[in-house]
Amino acid sequence: MISEALTTINIWILEDHELFAKQIRRLLSAEEDFICPHHFTSAADLFDKLRFTNERPDLLLLDLGLPRRDGLEVLNDVRKALPEVKVLILTASDDRDKVYRAICNGASGYLLKTADPDDIISGIRDVMLGASALSSPIAKMILEGFSRHGPVEHIEPLTSREEEVLRYLVKGFIKKEIADQLAISQHTVDMHLRSVYRKLQVRSQTEAVSKALRQGIV
């Protein structure tokens, strides 16, 4: 006899691959405390649903390879619209840049579609308990990326404007979009980025994102 009712975890899926989404829903439905009432094939469908109902998920499984919208932009919009909802990336891409940006933009974990089904289930549970969930190749990639920079060292402080530019860069904004957001010229954005790279002692956007995360700058 069960003495306490299970806490039900409400999971929504944003995934354009119908067959894969059905497989995941079947996997989730086998868990006594999981429900998955909604699957969306596009970001537009998800946000339409949110506009016309007060229903909200506890966790969103988000694919980054979406049609017509960049998955990282969708993640950013979801975090703004649903700050209390956990977002777990479940995608085919192991691109280093996407991994860093997703984590910096508020994803609670990053799992590959090739992950073992048990790892997906345990990843969801970990995220709901406040931990993070990473596929083994992703965790290894992050550790290797951090280790290449050596020990955490003192760096020359960034100005407030440089920090703003870096945050937009991490979110995946291109230079023109950063310029528009900050009401400055692209030339000024370039100037700030050169200063950021110099102070962080890096030569690329990916290195800047990796080191900024590791140093706790953003």
Q: What is the mean pLDDT of each run of 10 residues along the chain (218 residues)?
A: 65 96 96 96 95 95 91 91 94 86 87 94 93 86 62 73 86 83 92 90 75 69
Longest dimension (CA), the chain: 69
- Please enumerate in sequence order all residues whose Cβ is within 8 A of that of 162, keeping only pairs 6 or more positions apart, or say none: 192, 195, 196, 199
- Contact between residue 182 and residue 165 where contact means Cβ atoms under 8 Å apart: yes
- Please give the Cα distance from 164 to 158 (Å, whole number): 10
pLDDT value of position 3: 41
Please tell me whether residue 41 adopts helix, strand or coil conformation. coil
H helices of the chain, where? 18-29, 43-51, 71-81, 96-104, 117-128, 136-147, 160-170, 175-182, 186-200, 205-215
pLDDT value of position 153: 56
- Please give the Cα distance from 142 to 11 (Å, whole number): 27
Please tell me whether residue 17 adopts helix, strand or coil conformation. coil
Please tell me whether residue 86 adopts helix, strand or coil conformation. strand
pLDDT value of position 4: 46
pLDDT value of position 216: 66
Residue indicated by tokens 């995934």:
15
pLDDT value of position 84: 93
Please tell me whether residue 171 adopts helix, strand or coil conformation. coil
Q: In what order do the strands lie in the sheet with 59-62?
A: 34-40, 9-14, 59-62, 86-91, 109-112, 133-134
Domains, in order of start, for the chain: 9-146 (3.40.50.2300), 160-215 (1.10.10.10)
Q: What is the pTM of this model?
A: 0.69
Residue indicated by tokens 């800047």:
208
DSSP, res 155: -
